[in-house]
């Protein structure tokens, strides 16, 4: 815009993230080792991405082996490892077909397009609207932002992508009222992650399934965060008692390698014919190797028994902390290792207090702090994490008492 001298910037990264002033150079399972040598217990797992922890030997070997052979060929050609991964994901789920992409938002874009195209291909091109829920998060592209409906994220980016109708979570009458002649489907997260670890109960999911069946609508599950074991089963829908028609996956799918997927039944995917959608990078050889290696571990016998055991331990210990520090935390919610701790103090203060104890956690909506340990976390590491949570809560309680005495 002008030819004045460039400003001097401390960082040349676009400042869209408020980053903590800590950098890591190594990881071992649930541990992150900072550049100053300090060890942190990582209960963020890269925001539900590193489900198998850091530097898992099986993932490292799979990627190293693939990296020496072939990285990328494009989707002009057959990718046998991608075919195998798609078949395994379908084998383990309701789905028949898979589209690979590189992120959660892209997986949701593919899900939205598949739902709309189903209606068009079924003789109802007028049906393009999707019902979504308050507190939802579906990504940062223009369409997925409109689907999520959060005003603060939509502000200043021009007209909102049309075709999303938002209703309160758990309100089946509101869903019924929102269904009109232009409705194509319903999009829901089995657990809202970013929204504050919230879920509707199974009866609500059953009612949604029934409404979709009665009205020929697509039921779309956004399992970008809940999928790939996070809630203690491979997919969270398994616990809702219903199957979706379309499901988006990403975060943990590649065990840390950027990867997304949109899964669907053949009926739901009827409109997705050659040329209707695509991706340059989606499901390349490195991604397919990472995805298959991740599944190798998750599908091994007893993997989810372990997740459920450590989940129970974490929830029980956190409940006892809620009892003992009611001025700091008030509730434990979530399933598997998608755990939310409702804060009484500002959630950001609690995240900072945990970080002072070298425990990494991540905030969410509704003043909740998410604890997302890798699924391979041991019982001893859960106990270690709880000791850090307790020390942080004790310090915050003491600080509150000092403030109370001073005022």
Ligand X SMILES: *Cc1c(COP(=O)(O)O)cnc(C)c1O
Contacts of 167 (CB under 8 A, 6+ apart): 131, 132, 133, 134, 174, 175, 177, 178
How many angstroms separate the CA atoms of 3 and 332, rounded?
Answer: 55
Q: How far is the CB of 310 from ligand X (least distance, A)?
A: 21
User: How close are the terminal C-alpha atoms of the chain, in Å?
Assistant: 53
- Which class for 153: exposed (0-12), middle (13-18), buried (19 or more C-beta within 10 A)? middle
- Residue whose tokens read 């307790």: 390
- Cβ distance 361 to 339 under 8 Å? no
Looking at the Cβ atoms of 193 and 244, the one nearer to ligand X is: 193
> Which segment (13-21, 131-139, 233-241, 302-310) binds ligand X by CB under 6 A?
131-139
Looking at the Cβ atoms of 108 and 389, the one nearer to ligand X is: 108
- Of the candidates 81, 109, 165, 189, which one interacts with ligand X according to CB under 6 A? 189
How many angstroms separate the CA atoms of 401 and 394, rounded?
Answer: 11
Query: DSSP for 198-217?
Result: B---HHHHHHHHHHHHHHT-
Helix (H) or strand (E) holding 33: strand 31-34
Q: How far is the CB of 282 from ligand X (least distance, A)?
A: 13
Examine residue 193 and tell whether it contacts ligand X (CB under 6 A): yes
Looking at the Cβ atoms of 250 and 360, the one nearer to ligand X is: 250
Instruction: Look up residue 200 and give its two tokens.
Output: 């509707």
Examine residue 235 and tell whether it contacts ligand X (CB under 6 A): no
Contacts of 47 (CB under 8 A, 6+ apart): 225, 251, 362, 372
Gyration radius from the chain CA atoms? 22
Examine residue 265 and tell whether it contacts ligand X (CB under 6 A): no
Examine residue 262 and tell whether it contacts ligand X (CB under 6 A): no
Angstrom CA distances, 20 to 155, 360, 361, stand at 25, 11, 12
Examine residue 335 and tell whether it contacts ligand X (CB under 6 A): no
Q: Which among 280, 270, 369 is positioned nearest to 321, based on CA atoms?
A: 369
Examine residue 138 and tell whether it contacts ligand X (CB under 6 A): yes
- Of the candidates 42, 109, 165, 222, which one interacts with ligand X according to CB under 6 A? 222
Contacts (CB under 6 A) with ligand X, residues 88-127: 103-105, 108
Examine residue 231 and tell whether it contacts ligand X (CB under 6 A): no
Contacts (CB under 6 A) with ligand X, residues 385-404: none
How many angstroms separate the CA atoms of 110 and 92, rounded?
Answer: 20
Examine residue 250 and tell whether it contacts ligand X (CB under 6 A): yes
Q: Which among 266, 229, 303 is positioned nearest to 95, based on CA atoms?
A: 266
Q: How far is the CB of 344 from ligand X (least distance, A)?
A: 25
C-alpha dihedral, 264 to 270 to 274 to 277, nearest 10°: -50
> Which segment (127-135, 136-144, 267-275, 339-347) binds ligand X by CB under 6 A?
136-144
Instruction: Look up residue 341 and give its two tokens.
Output: 């701790």
Examine residue 139 and tell whether it contacts ligand X (CB under 6 A): yes
> Which segment (154-162, 222-230, 298-306, 315-323) binds ligand X by CB under 6 A?
222-230
> Which segment (187-195, 314-322, 366-374, 379-387) binds ligand X by CB under 6 A?
187-195
Give the count of residues interacting with ligand X (CB under 6 A). Answer: 15
Pattern 270-309, binding to ligand X, x per CB under 6 A?
----------------------------------------
- Of the candidates 40, 94, 128, 137, which one interacts with ligand X according to CB under 6 A? 137
Q: How far is the CB of 40 from ligand X (least distance, A)?
A: 22
Helix (H) or strand (E) holding 293: helix 285-298
Q: Which among 295, 385, 304, 373 is positioned nearest to 338, based on CA atoms?
A: 373
Q: How far is the CB of 122 from ligand X (least distance, A)?
A: 26
Q: How far is the CB of 391 from ligand X (least distance, A)?
A: 29
Q: How far is the CB of 248 from ligand X (least distance, A)?
A: 7
Binding region for ligand X (CB under 6 A): 103-105, 108, 137-139, 189, 193-194, 222, 224-225, 250-251
């Amino acid at each position: 815009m002008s030819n004045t001298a460039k400003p001097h910037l401390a960082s040349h990264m676009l400042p869209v993230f408020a980053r903590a002033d800590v950098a890591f150079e190594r990881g071992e399972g649930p541990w992150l080792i900072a550049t100053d040598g300090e060890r942190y217990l990582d209960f963020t797992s890269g925001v539900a991405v590193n489900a198998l922890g850091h530097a898992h030997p099986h993932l490292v070997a799979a990627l190293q082996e693939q990296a020496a052979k072939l990285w990328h060929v494009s989707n002009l050609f057959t990718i046998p490892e991608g075919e195998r991964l798609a078949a395994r994901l379908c084998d383990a789920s309701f789905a028949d077909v898979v589209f690979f992409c590189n992120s959660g938002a892209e997986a949701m874009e593919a899900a939205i397009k598949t739902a709309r195209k189903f209606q068009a291909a079924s003789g109802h091109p007028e049906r393009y609207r999707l019902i979504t829920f308050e507190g939802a998060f579906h990504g940062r592209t223009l369409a997925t932002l409109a689907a999520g409906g959060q005003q603060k994220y939509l502000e200043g980016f021009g007209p909102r992508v049309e075709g999303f109708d938002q209703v309160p979570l758990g309100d089946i009458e509101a869903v019924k009222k929102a269904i009109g002649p232009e409705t194509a489907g319903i999009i829901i997260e089995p657990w809202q992650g970013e929204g504050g670890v919230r879920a509707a109960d199974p009866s609500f999911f059953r009612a949604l399934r029934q409404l979709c069946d009665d009205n020929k609508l697509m039921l779309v599950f956004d399992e970008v965060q809940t999928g790939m074991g996070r809630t203690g089963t491979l997919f969270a829908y398994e616990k809702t008692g219903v199957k979706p028609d379309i499901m988006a996956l990403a975060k943990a799918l590649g065990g840390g390698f950027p990867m997304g997927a949109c899964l669907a039944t053949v009926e739901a995917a009827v409109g997705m014919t050659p040329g209707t959608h695509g991706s340059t990078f989606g499901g390349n050889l490195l991604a397919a190797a990472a995805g298959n290696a991740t599944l190798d571990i998750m599908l091994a016998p007893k993997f989810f028994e372990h997740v459920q055991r450590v989940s129970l331990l974490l929830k029980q210990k956190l409940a006892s902390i809620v009892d003992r520090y009611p001025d700091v935390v008030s509730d434990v919610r979530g399933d598997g290792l998608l755990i939310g701790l409702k804060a009484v103090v500002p959630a950001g203060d609690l995240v900072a207090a945990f970080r002072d104890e070298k425990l990494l956690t991540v905030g969410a909506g509704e003043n909740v702090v998410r604890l997302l340990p890798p699924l391979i976390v041991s019982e001893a590491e859960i106990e270690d994490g709880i000791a850090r949570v307790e020390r942080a809560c004790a310090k915050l309680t003491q600080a509150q008492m000092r403030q109370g005495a001073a005022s």
